Structure 1
Amino acid sequence: MTQTNTITINPLPSKTWNWLKMNASTVELREPEQGAQTEFAPAGALTFQDIAGNWPDVETGMGSDLDRFLEPIPGTLADLAAGETMASPALAVFRFAPGATRGSRLLIHAGAGSTLALAVLCGSSAPGASAAALQIKIKADANATVRLYLLQTLDDAATGLIDVGAVCGEGAAFELTRMELGAGRLYAGCLADLAGKGSGFTAQVGYFARTGQRLDMNYVARHRGKRTTCRMDSTGVLAGDAFKLFRGSIDFLPGCAGAKGEEQEDVLLLGEEVTNQTIPLILCGEEDVEGNHGATIGRLDERMLFYLASRGIPAQQARRLLAHARVDALAQRLPQALAEEVRHFMEEHGNEL
């Protein structure tokens, strides 16, 4: 009989008031079986190879429980040698079959002074209930740049756990562009460890949640090196009775003098029954730092709807147009292969408002 595990995921770096029940989440999963169906399309000097080990020194946004859960699963290493620059992104596709819990791991290494670009698609190979876990760990050596484009389009019956962790060396940069579109229950994590002096992290996060969907997200920028920087922006649309919890933490640790961090969220609510929860958290263990956060949360402007109605556009169609515009704005930042996947997804699901 397959064992069921209860794991704790998406923990805040420091607990808030327990009564809010936002400090972390728990999920029950059966032991992971075989991984996803994978396809890798290398570009430039980037290579892919199967490996059995893990990187225990790279923490992720979803936490150590998921590390232990996926430890038996073989992984794939994407490696770029020092000084190499990729003119276009490589592509990695993970498609999860229904009917079981499946896990996959991807390790990314960018050598000193290199520029690595990788587009990752996480989707379902067929409709049906499943649990899909994908963990991505990144090491960016000194003065390296890693650009990760991540698109999730799992089936609505699936539970998704998509986790990212990165350690940046001196002068290194991690740039994340990420979009969440599918999965009935989606848990997303990301932790950027800015260990090296002058390293940086930027995140552009988008999501489109419809009736029956639940999104639980945890983003952490950990400043350890001096004069490190981070910028986290998230933009989303919630429709029907969708639920969303977004944790965004900027953690200034002792010794990170001169560090700067910013986070901003913009949420459009398109249903009377949506649930939106946001935790912008700034932790200061160092005096000489600068941190800012803000959130814009609201419904469609009635004046805008009236204007569109006066031009012959019904309210429901206007809502679709404005929701699509938000999704399209982030899709334009994605490589063509992922942008096409977004277009196909919105053609199938974009009217579910």
Structure 2
Amino acid sequence: MEKRAIFNELPRPTFRWLKVNYTESQIEEGQHPAMVTVFSEEGIVAPLGKRELLKESFLGANKESLEAVTAHYTAGFAVTVPDGAHEKVEVVIDADADTVNEKTRIFATVGENATLELLYHLKGRAESGNVTLLTEVLAKKQANVTVKKVQLLGEGVQQIEHRYTKFEDDSKVECINVELGGKENILYYDEDLIGERAELVHDLAYLGEKEQRFDISMLMSHIGKKTVSDIHTLGALSGKSKKAFRGTLDFIRGSVASEGAEEDTCLLLDPEVKSVSLPLLLCKEDNVVGNHAASAGQLDQTKLFYLMSRGFSESEAKHIIVESMLRPIIDRIGNEDIEEAALAAVRAKI
């Protein structure tokens, strides 16, 4: 009998009658670890060793999955960027076996006035199993961090991602996700904007087909004064694919003059797709600004007609519309080979 588990539960349960406060699933099992390769300058990356979580109360997408990748990872690395340095690190997770069981943990410390670009490339021909990724980032004063991720796993693989970021004064973090592969993608992002004037921008793009599932949870905790967060998720669903977005802006007492915004946009390409959007706003401080928006709908018929009137077939016109929506995010990856692989995956799915 399969063991069911709770994933991505809202921090303040609501909408109980709709049964969307969390996702119920199970952790898939596989046999072989993936091949994990790290590219960086010498001395920046070292084996992780045993390390406690950066945030003791970090919940992750699921307790059992988080505990497993924390203590029993198959690949673990510590990334340390000294004060004032500028570094790039690329992590390639290649799930090449038929059935995969991979748990990768990355702990990044970015020193004061330092810069880090961390790029993840998940790929492989695995037909089943699980890839779990835990990333913890400590962004010190005036640090600039960019975390980019392109996920092109096999269509039978479950992906679970846990990510936590701690912001100090004047730190800035930009996150870019391109989620295209996998059977079930469970993504959890917890951002603690502790320092004054800390800033977060997170853009996530996805494209679902067949029975793919994307379950996205983002928690932005505004703790310091004058902090800013701005998140966007956008994508398209076809076949019988599903997407759930749970975004929470939490203004803690003391986060004076902080601003937060979240927006979820989903394009519904077929009648049997399902999109759930739960933008949540929590506030214990008066002098703040919080905005949230969600939209889901079919293709713009005016755009479709215009393109078809120019000689494109209906399928070609749909392809152009969907690719034009996702491409601006893909083009920000900054690696030509990975961008081309992502675009090829988009074109194959439409």
Fold match, TM over 0.5? Answer: yes
Pairing 1:347–2:348 present: no
Unaligned runs of 5+ residues in structure 2 are none
CA distance in 2, matches of 1:198, 1:348: 38
Alignment length (residue pairs):
346
CA distance in 2, matches of 1:76, 1:6: 30
CA distance in 2, matches of 1:139, 1:112: 10
Paired letter, 2:47: Q
> Matched residue of 1:196: which SS?
coil
Deviations 1:253-297 (A, max 9, x none): 111111110111222221121111111111111111110111232
CA distance in 2, matches of 1:176, 1:343: 20
**Aligned residue for 2:274?**
275
Pairing 1:117–2:109 present: no
CA distance in 1, matches of 2:320, 2:307: 10
- Relative to 1, partners in 2 of residues 1:351 and 1:272: Cα closer, same or farther, differing over 3 Å? farther
How do 1:1-353 residues align onto structure 2 when only pairs under 5 Å count? 6-29=4-27, 35-43=33-41, 46-57=44-55, 59=58, 61-74=60-73, 75-86=76-87, 89-96=88-95, 97-124=97-124, 126-336=125-335, 339-348=336-345, 350-353=347-350
> Matched residue of 1:277: which SS?
strand
- Relative to 1, partners in 2 of residues 1:116 and 1:346: Cα closer, same or farther, differing over 3 Å? closer
Shift in Å, 1:5: 6.0
CA distance in 2, matches of 1:99, 1:147: 31
Deviations 1:205-247 (A, max 9, x none): 1111111111111011111111111000112111122110011
Paired letter, 1:103: K
Q: What's the TM-score once normalised by structure 1's chain length?
A: 0.91
Q: Is the 8 A contact 2:237 2:266 kept in 1?
A: yes
> Matched residue of 1:78: which SS?
strand
CA distance in 2, matches of 1:26, 1:91: 32
Greater displacement, 186-195 / 291-300? 291-300
Q: Is the 8 A contact 1:171 1:197 kept in 2?
A: yes
Q: Is the 8 A contact 1:7 1:66 kept in 2?
A: no
Deviations 1:186-220 (A, max 9, x none): 11111111111221111011111111111111011
> Matched residue of 2:10: which SS?
coil
Greater displacement, 299-308 / 235-244? 299-308
Greater displacement, 241-250 / 34-43? 34-43
Unaligned runs of 5+ residues in structure 1 are none
CA distance in 1, matches of 2:90, 2:53: 22
Paired letter, 2:121: L
CA distance in 2, matches of 1:153, 1:190: 19
Shift in Å, 1:44: 8.0
Task: Please report the RMSD computed on the Cα atoms of aligned residues, expressed in angstroms.
Answer: 2.2
Shift in Å, 1:66: 3.0
Identical columns (%): 23
CA distance in 1, matches of 2:159, 2:196: 34
- Relative to 1, partners in 2 of residues 1:310 and 1:17: Cα closer, same or farther, differing over 3 Å? closer
Q: Is the 8 A contact 1:61 1:219 kept in 2?
A: no
> Matched residue of 1:340: which SS?
helix
Q: What's the TM-score once normalised by structure 2's chain length?
A: 0.91
- Relative to 1, partners in 2 of residues 1:6 and 1:260: Cα closer, same or farther, differing over 3 Å? same
Shift in Å, 1:340: 2.6
